[in-house]
Structure 1
Amino acid sequence: MEKLTQQEEEAMLAVWKAGEGSVKTFLEFIEEPRPPYTTLASTIKNLEKKGYLTSRKIGNTLLYAPAVTEEAYKQKFMGTVVKDYFENSYKELVNFFVQKKKISTEELKEIINLIEGKK
């Protein structure tokens, strides 16, 4: 599984939200400013070639569906980020966000509760 470009990730997020659909369907799941239809169609074709999507033809319309789950993609590439940038330590990852003030005390408490199995 190869890392996607930002444009490809945006398209895959739309596909994962929609489930199965056409390029027009996926366009509706992308926030403004949306790419032109032809740009998204090209991106979708590339994702199919890379093995991220499958397609089937219904009449004159191609319907695409994810071949890779969002969770599998996140797991693969978050692990790579942690390994490459945080010495393979999730503690270092959290520490980075704490130092940059990108995570609040309340959010840290929520994370601790999740780890401890509390709701």
Structure 2
Amino acid sequence: MLGVQYDSIWSLVIFVICMFGVGLILELVTKSIFVLSTRNMTEKTKILFIRIIIEFTSNWLVLFTVDELMNSITLSVQTEVVIAALLTAIEIIFDDDDKENEETINETRN
């Protein structure tokens, strides 16, 4: 249905663990790129658009890399794109919630 084929449940577990590992390394790079590319921008929609592009590309690159390195699991390109889009949306939503919570806490302290 989604274009996912795997040999065993352990293949999925290893796939997810590898995704976290590769994603952690790549996120350090992409966060730096995002901060440097939006440092002098003030328009929030443009910053959000750039963030979506960088996050999506990063997520897709992680999925693609781990998929290509593992022989026991295969994802179709459509599945990679859908998962990358979902991960991007989830990351942005939860990260924005964290920032709002921090701002609320800082306002109550002052």
Structure number with greater Rg is: 1
In the superposition, the TM-score normalised over structure 1's length comes to 0.25
Q: Which has the higher helix share?
A: 2
Question: Larger RCO: Structure 1 or Structure 2 (Cα < 8 Å, ≥ 6 residues apart)?
Answer: 2
**TM-score, scaled to structure 2:** 0.27
